[in-house]
Amino acid sequence: MVSEIWTEKYRPSKFFEVLGQDNIVKRVEALTGSLNIPHLLFAGPAGTGKSTLALIVVKELFKENWKDNYLELNASDERGINVVREKVKNFARTKALGNVPFKVIFLDEADALTPEAQQALRRTMENYSATCRFILSCNYSSKIIDPIQSRCAMFRFKLLEKKDIEKVIGRIAESENLTIPPESIEIIYEGSEGDCRRCINLLQSTASVSPSITPDLISTIISNAKPKDIKIVLDYAIAGDFQRAREKLLDVMLKESISGQDVIKAVQKEIWNLPVEPEIKVKLTEKTGEAEFRIVEGSDPFIQLQALLASFVLAGLGKG
């Protein structure tokens, strides 16, 4: 994650680099300060600071010797039981260098480990707890077996709020001499959906075109359906004009190169701005979910979206 602007003179700790997770940072910082951490499990969405916090913990514990006492594995690449039996065990059984009596193994995307590998891992965590601590990172803690969860202190990360994304964007804009108006920040936040990594990538892609980050430029990079275009489509449908709604939808998808799933997301957001009864909005939301499921399962996106528009037309005519 990108840090706020602090100097080492005033803030020697690096924990301030993780934004939007204040409660987690305070608790982990307290554990690290005692030089004795338990096994940790970081769970939450992508781009919220899990890997960054793990790296900060290691650097704060071991200082300049951190590379000798740290092993990072991406479980989605190396997910079999042999990885636990060989790489993890061989590293865990050796003595740490320095004042801290244990090493640290960071397993990123641990929810991708096979059940057999997780069973082997739980025994390894138990047998080598004197010489090694584990930090596990995952998107879904439900995919981690209960014996591992019970051996770890769990921390649940949340998506970043707009104020946190604004801090990230402000720091980057200042260091890279970018001009970013408030409207652009709003679009970047909506496009990133609270994912800091996606936010930074959007800024980098846009800044490679121009140092002036305009809303139109960001919309081009994101390639999301524009709310005003989707609103026109739904207005036609609610008014009972299926033909014009269909033509406008096709125009949006082809000209803007928008995928069916992106259109579905935009439709879902716009439903609640429609001038219809709350009960009808609930039914339309249900229909939107059905269409999204069929598209994910492999159905033709345009056919499913036309069927969804038909539901909106019937709702507008009072027959939904």
Q: How much is the pLDDT for 189?
A: 87
Question: In CATH, what number is assigned to the domain containing residue 191?
Answer: 1.10.8.60
Question: In CATH, what number is assigned to the domain containing residue 258?
Answer: 1.20.272.10
- Residue 216 is assigned to a structural domain of this protein: yes
Q: How much is the pLDDT for 9?
A: 34
Question: DSSP string covering the chain, please?
Answer: -PPPS--TTT---SGGGS-S-HHHHHHHHHHHHTT---EEEEE--TTSSHHHHHHHHHHHHHGGGGGGGEEEEETTTS-SHHHIIIIIHHHHTSPPSSSSS-EEEEEETGGGS-HHHHHHHHHHHHHTTTTEEEEEEES-GGGS-HHHHHHEEEEE--PPPHHHHHHHHHHHHHHHT-B--HHHHHHHHHHHTT-HHHHHHHHHHHHTT-SB--HHHHHHHHTPPPHHHHHHHHHHHHTT-HHHHHHHHHHHHHHTT--HHHHHHHHHHHGGGSSS-HHHHHHHHHHHHHHHHHHHTT--HHHHHHHHHHHHHHHHTT--
- Residue 234 is assigned to a structural domain of this protein: yes
Q: How much is the pLDDT for 77?
A: 66
Q: How much is the pLDDT for 8?
A: 36
| 233 and 308 inside one domain | yes
| 177 and 134 inside one domain | no
Q: How much is the pLDDT for 13?
A: 57
Q: How much is the pLDDT for 219?
A: 77
Q: pTM of this prediction? A: 0.74
| 257 and 284 inside one domain | yes
| 234 and 292 inside one domain | yes
Q: Which domain holds residue 20?
A: 15-156
| 100 and 181 inside one domain | no
Q: How much is the pLDDT for 6?
A: 32
- Single residue among 136, 156, 176 that ends a domain in this structure: 156
- Residue 171 is assigned to a structural domain of this protein: yes
| 107 and 215 inside one domain | no
Number of domains present in the structure of the chain = 3
| 29 and 133 inside one domain | yes
- Residue 166 is assigned to a structural domain of this protein: yes
Query: What is the block-wise mean pLDDT of the chain (320 residues), using blocks of 10 residues?
Result: 36 66 88 86 91 90 87 73 75 82 89 85 86 91 91 91 88 88 87 85 87 84 73 88 89 78 85 84 90 89 90 79
